[in-house]
Amino acid sequence: MNNQLNRREFMKNTGVLAGAGMIRGTSKPVMPKVGEVIIGHNSHRYKVVAGWGILDAGKNPVNDCHEMVEDAKGRLIMCTNETKNNIVIYDKSGKLLDTWGTTYPGAHGLTIFNEGGEQFLLICDNARHQVIKTDLKGKVIFKIEYPKETGVYDAPNQFVPTETAVNPKNGDIYVADGYGSQYIIQYDAKGRYIRHFGGASNEYTDDKFNCCHGVLVDTRDKANPTLLITDRMNNCWKRFTLDGKFLTVYHLPGTYICRPVLHGDYVFGAAFRSGDSSWNNSGYIQVLDKNMKVVSTPGGSVPTYKDGVLQRQHKDDPHNVFMHPHDVYVDSDENIYIPQWNSQKTYPIKLERLA
């Protein structure tokens, strides 16, 4: 059976309406135009752009669409674990510009960064148990193998990296071993080991993790940058110093959140699922302000605080826009793009920001 959605199925699954009506799940009622689907709350509401980025699956298939970044030319670069084209490059209209990569069966994490006036990528491949630095055309610069220098890893298969972050001040690389031994490993810009911290705990512990799926160097406080790290099974993000000391936690009840993504004063995250009794196709997006308060949950329930505590959230989307969002990219026009995991080999979804 061909699992790739055709255009009609995509339109149905993203909930493009045949007529006008009132959209639920927003903080204020919105009367959309014919054919529009609007999701989100408060200051961050979005219109679903139907059909964006759909390609010929025979020529350019995807499997899991994991993460997306933008280069200096405005190209949107996405990784997928489909080895016919691990890297898929779009323009913002959804047109295919280029593809490359056939040797990344576990392509999962994707980070772009500047170094010496040039841009590079870091690819986390959790099937190869490696982090690979490449240029934007796919040339391999170096590989980070399993971190035997730590003394806590005995074999490569214990290292299953999911995400990286780069400190823009000195080029240090932070690797989140989110599907492996649950450590954050810090390297210098050349890939040389500096330190590690964290580790696994099935019970909630401030300085340990149960799926440290994502990591971000949070530069909003320019004088004092810190790390935001996912603790996905505990429904939270945790803040650490750059040398690995725990600072605080931000609880996101009901939300199995992926990596934190910084855009201006806001942090965005994709929830690949929520805490619903049936978690299949239960994902949504979260938007947090500079105070780390949830202001919008596109595809999810209205964010509600009682006595300063965020109440448990869940999927609330009659149009079923999302299945399992895995990442969020925000462009210069405040539009967002969502690659999805385990979502019937569908291409990314674009949401257009409403004023």
77, 260, 281, 345 from 119: Cα distances, Å: 12, 21, 35, 29
Q: Which residues pair with 216 in a beta bridge?
A: 228
Low-confidence residues in the chain, pLDDT < 70: 1-35, 277, 355
Q: Is residue 277 part of a domain?
A: yes
Within a domain: residue 318? yes
Q: What is the pLDDT of residue 23?
A: 31
31 domain-assigned: no
Non-local (6+) Cβ contacts of 75 within 8 A are: 89, 90, 91, 97, 98
Write down the pLDDT at residue 275: 86
Closest CA to 300 of 42, 17, 32: 42
pTM for the full predicted model: 0.90
DSSP 165-229: EE-TTT--EEEE-TTTT-EEEEE-TTS-EEEEEE-B-SS--TT-BS----EEEE-SSTTS-EEEE
Token pair of 338, please? Answer: 């969502």
Whether residue 232 contacts residue 259, with contact meaning beta carbons closer than 8 Å, is answered with no
Q: Is 234 exposed, middle or buried (0-12, 13-18, 19+ CB in 10 A)?
A: buried
Number of folded domains that form the chain? 1
CATH number, domain containing residue 329: 2.120.10.30
For residue 153, the enclosing domain spans 58-346
| Neighbour tally for 130: CB within 10 Å | 18
Within-domain flag for 354: no
Q: How far apart are CA 75 and CA 119, in angstroms?
A: 12
pLDDT at 268: 98
pLDDT computed for residue 24 by the predictor: 30
Secondary structure of residue 151 in the 3-state scheme: coil
In a domain, residue 235? The reply is: yes
Cα 62 to Cα 314: distance, rounded to the nearest angstrom? 28
Supply the pLDDT for residue 279. Answer: 87
243-251's contacts with Cβ under 8 Å and 24+ in sequence apart are 243/186, 243/195, 244/184, 244/186, 244/195, 244/196, 244/197, 244/198, 246/206, 246/207, 249/206, 250/288, 250/292, 251/309, 251/310
Q: How many CB atoms lie within 10 A of CB 245?
A: 12
Residue 28, domain member (yes or no): no
Domain assignment of residue 52, yes or no? no
How far apart are alpha carbons 229 and 98 in whole angstroms? 32
For residue 20, tell me if it sits in a domain. no
Q: What is the side-by-side order of every strand in the sheet holding 87-90?
A: 65-70, 76-80, 87-90, 96-100
